[in-house]
A and B are shown apart, each in its own frame.
Chain A
Amino acid sequence: MTEKLALEGVEKSFGENRVLTGIDLAVQEHEVVCLIGASGSGKSTLLRCVNLIEPIDAGRIVLSGNRISGPGVNHNDVRRRIGIVFQAFNLFPHMSVLQNVTLAQQRVLGRSRSQAEARAHELLDRFGVGDKHGEYPDRLSGGQQQRVAIVRALAMDPELMLLDEVTSALDPELVGEVLEVIRELAAAGMTMVIATHEMAFARDIASRVCFLDDGVILEQGPPDQIFTAPHEPRTQQFLQRIVAAGRL
């Protein structure tokens, strides 16, 4: 298996605030890596750095063997290859669902309108929101909107998908439909890095789980190991709190 994504010694600060320290992470093709940790531990920041939304202060990020961090890199090209979905969906409210999904395909990938729409319909149907293609985002439920957001990113045929707590803003009864989509993507072999609070899901789907604590990857390993027999005391503490809250 080839290495899809590598973070080497990545550091990131916001002003005085050190958010990521010495992050080393390698993601193989087809792997699903779940990032878990408390709020503020740096999960979102890590993903945003990979997508070049935030510049890193030190270290390297490598995608499919090419360095993508640092000077001299075309950010738009990189972002085309990586799909990212946010907690707040961020659909474009002034466009229909179909337009949301075809806009970047046409403008960035240069697909014709019919090509873009065909791909859009294919994905929308596959994830159960095909009948909503003519609607505007404000008419959709949260779960539907998030599924559309995932489709929008997928339509670009990315090499890698980053999911930043995509179910955290949803009502519990809607979380399931989105998790289903992610499950299916994983089964289809999409390389993914997923920041999530859904522990049961992570346990189920991840090839590897990374526990982030205060900007550092404290521990990483297969889900069974992390969830049942974590090495680090802080990992244990975190998981205990999760279990106590009834979320595992």
Chain B
Amino acid sequence: METLFFLIVAAIAVICSLMVVTNKNPINSALSLIMTFFCLATLYVMLEAPFMAAIQVIVYAGAIMVLIVFVIMLLNIKSEAGRRTSHALFMGISVGLLLLVQTWYLLVKSSLSSVRGTVDSAMISKVGHTELIGKSLFTDFLLPFEITSILLLVAIVGAVVLSKKKL
């Protein structure tokens, strides 16, 4: 049952992401992307990561995609001109397929040999996913967490520098 569900969700995710790339209308692409994000959120739920699923929906599908759609509408981007060099397309597809084959081979041949962490389903249901993530952010990954703030600051400054009208 679970496998079947996974396959359905995964298939939708793959199809949607293909549509993101192939659609000529940017709005359609953006909407397909939102769909993909929802599928990913579903997958997170299946992996017993409800917090991640919620964040995925709220931040990506909610905030970021809305922003993207707004930008598309503001700039009034028309359908893409649609000139694609065929050999580039061919190369792209073949390299992509090769990468796929390699990934498959990798998955078949290698084993997940690492230690299992202390976090398992029982613990998640007992303590709660959000709290576990919070704890690890404030203990093990405190510094990376703090660095993120600088990263965001830099991104904001950069956006302002590159886009503000009058210098």
Q: Do A and B bind each other?
A: no
* A binding-site residues for B, Cβ under 8 Å: none
